[in-house]
Amino acid sequence: MQQLRPAELKAWLDDPQRPRPLLLDVREEWEFERCRIAGSRLLPMREIAARLSELEPEREIVVICHHGVRSFHTARFLENNGFANVINLAGGVDAWAKEADPAMPTY
């Protein structure tokens, strides 16, 4: 499974020449309300299996959570279900706040 550090994802999102991936945030709603990467879509990990049909298997998807563990497991699940372009955000939003967006609230 491919993994990106926050600085790599930020460079990707800042590049107008690259198509934007789906930023799939698998945290809980209260976590998403506290802080999130702009443009992220919330789909809690516990709902992924039931809502798999809402996602496009060929689209580039960056899976995001708090520290990168839930997103890693979700990304693996997506790969095992035919999703070809899944990337885990290593370190999650916590690392994003430290490495890419120091103004982002943390918890």
Asked if residue 14 belongs to a domain, the reply is: yes
Q: How many domains does the chain have?
A: 1
Output the domain CATH number for residue 58: 3.40.250.10
Identify the pLDDT of residue 1.
86
Residue-level pLDDT at 74: 98
What is the tally of helices (H) and strands (E) in the chain?
Answer: 4, 5
pLDDT digits (tens, 9 = 90+) for 52-70: 999 999 999 999 999 999 9
Q: What is the CA angle 31-36-37, rounded to 5?
A: 155
Contact yes or no for 100/93 (Cβ under 8 A): no
pLDDT in tens, 62-103: 999 999 999 999 999 999 999 999 999 999 999 999 999 999
Active site residues: 65
**Is the pLDDT confidence value at 46 over 90?**
yes
- The answer to the question of residue 71 being in a domain is yes
**pLDDT given for residue 51 in this prediction:** 97
Residue 104 counted as domain residue: no
Query: What's the CA gap between 40 and 21, in Å, rounded?
Result: 10
- Give pTM, 2 decimals: 0.96
Q: Residue 85 sits in which domain range?
A: 2-99
Look up residue 69 and give its DSSP letter.
H
- What digits encode the pLDDT tens for the residues 11-35? 999 999 999 999 999 999 999 999 9
